[in-house]
Amino acid sequence: MGITFEGLGFYVPSDVLTNFDLERMVDTSDEWITTRTGIKERRIARTESLIDMAEKASRRALEDAKVEPDQIDAIVLATITPHLGFPASACLLQTRLGCKDAFAFDISAACSGFLYGLEVARGIISSGSAKRVLLVGVEKLSEMVNWQDRSTCVLFGDGAGAVVVSSEGEGEILSSLMRSDGETWEILYAERCGYINMKGRELFKLAVRSMEEVCQEVLSRAGLTVNDIDLVIPHQANIRILEALAEKLGIGMEKVYSNIHKYGNTSAASIPIAMAEAYQEGRLRRGNVVLMTAMGGGLTWGATLIKF
């Protein structure tokens, strides 16, 4: 169905935490982190709240879309690090932005949150409940990371990405497929107010296999092949996962967008940050066929194929 990304924006905190900084905090090295993950540095929100980051990314997306806050009918915010227990961070964002005519709520699907959110936004629009949705992926993972656990603390970062989507325009969701498997929840989780726990090696293999499956399936449902893809915008978890996925799909890395070296894994924020940055750089252009895919806690995973 017709879904156009009218505007995109992202925000990352200015505080940079490099691999060399981490060398002074835990028993690790820039060499290990770079070769195993592709990450060189990440951003940390030392002074900003989750809502501050979401607001900055959203204002940029609204400006890019040339849309006023009162033209937003719904706010869908994907996060695993909400600002409060309740109400939803989306409601706190609503009042900051002045989207007074919108209904607002959060969704929790970890690193797949943005793609799940897009599925929800599409449903809201196609049901006629909303014409225009502000979809935000935002995380303050630095608060959920055990800074003494080298196996996880080197991976994550903070940031926000936002898009304005509507049924008006030339864009399309060509096909999409969302999956989850609660049987595997212990591979990646955090206790309430606790730290991130991850079985990294297991997750690595599952991530490559599961994302490949859904990517192949969405292409087949749309009647397209990898040759039709202009750009892949995957969740930024590990550059080796992206390389393995690209190889399995038979697609060159030049078509796979990655900014993991700068921001690390920002969970629900990672795809919208990558989308907005690719758009600003001219890598993502109107009319492009774009494949997005993610996997994360739940486990949840999915793929969405769009005409941008």
The closest alpha carbon to 17, from 109, 188, 142, belongs to 142
Return all residues near 202 (Cβ < 8 A) that are at least 6 apart.
Answer: 187
Active site residue 111: yes
Q: Does 111 bind ligand UT7 (CB under 6 A)?
A: yes
Q: Does 200 bind ligand UT7 (CB under 6 A)?
A: yes
Q: Does 19 bind ligand UT7 (CB under 6 A)?
A: no
Ranked by CB distance to ligand UT7, the top (closest) residue is 200
Residue 32 CB, nearest approach to ligand UT7 (Å): 4
Q: Which residue, 36 or 59, is less far from ligand UT7 as judged by CB?
A: 36
Q: What is the x/- site pattern for ligand UT7, positions 141-160, by CB under 6 A?
A: ---------xx--x------
With CB under 6 A as the contact rule, the residue among 15, 23, 30, 32 that binds ligand UT7 is: 32
- The residue type of 191 is E
With CB under 6 A as the contact rule, the residue among 2, 16, 34, 36 that binds ligand UT7 is: 36
Let me know how long the chain is: 308
Give the Cα separation of 36 and 46 in Å (integer). 26
Residue 80, classed as helix, strand or coil, is coil
Q: Does 260 bind ligand UT7 (CB under 6 A)?
A: no
Give the Cα separation of 37 and 18 in Å (integer). 13
Give the Cα separation of 294 and 308 in Å (integer). 18
Binding window for ligand UT7 (CB under 6 A); candidates: 27-35, 46-54, 126-134, 226-234: 27-35
Residue tagged 């606790």 (tokens) = 194
Which value, in Å, is the radius of gyration of the alpha carbons in the chain?
Answer: 18
Binding window for ligand UT7 (CB under 6 A); candidates: 94-102, 162-170, 203-211, 300-308: 203-211
Return all residues near 131 (Cβ < 8 A) that are at least 6 apart.
Answer: 73, 125, 166, 167, 168
- Contact criterion met (CB below 8 Å) for 307 and 171: yes
Residue 303 CB, nearest approach to ligand UT7 (Å): 15
The closest alpha carbon to 144, from 93, 207, 180, 188, belongs to 188
Active-site option among 19, 83, 91, 111:
111
Residue 31 CB, nearest approach to ligand UT7 (Å): 9
- Contact criterion met (CB below 8 Å) for 215 and 245: yes
Judged by CB under 6 A, the chain residues 276 through 305 that form the site for ligand UT7 are: 295-296
Binding window for ligand UT7 (CB under 6 A); candidates: 6-14, 33-41, 162-170, 276-284: 33-41
Q: Does 237 bind ligand UT7 (CB under 6 A)?
A: yes
Residue 22 CB, nearest approach to ligand UT7 (Å): 8
Give the Cα separation of 86 and 103 in Å (integer). 15
The H or E element spanning position 171 is none
The catalytic residue positions are 111, 235, 265
Q: Which residues bind ligand UT7 (CB under 6 A)?
A: 28, 32-33, 36-37, 111, 150-151, 154, 200-201, 203-204, 207, 237-238, 241, 265, 295-296
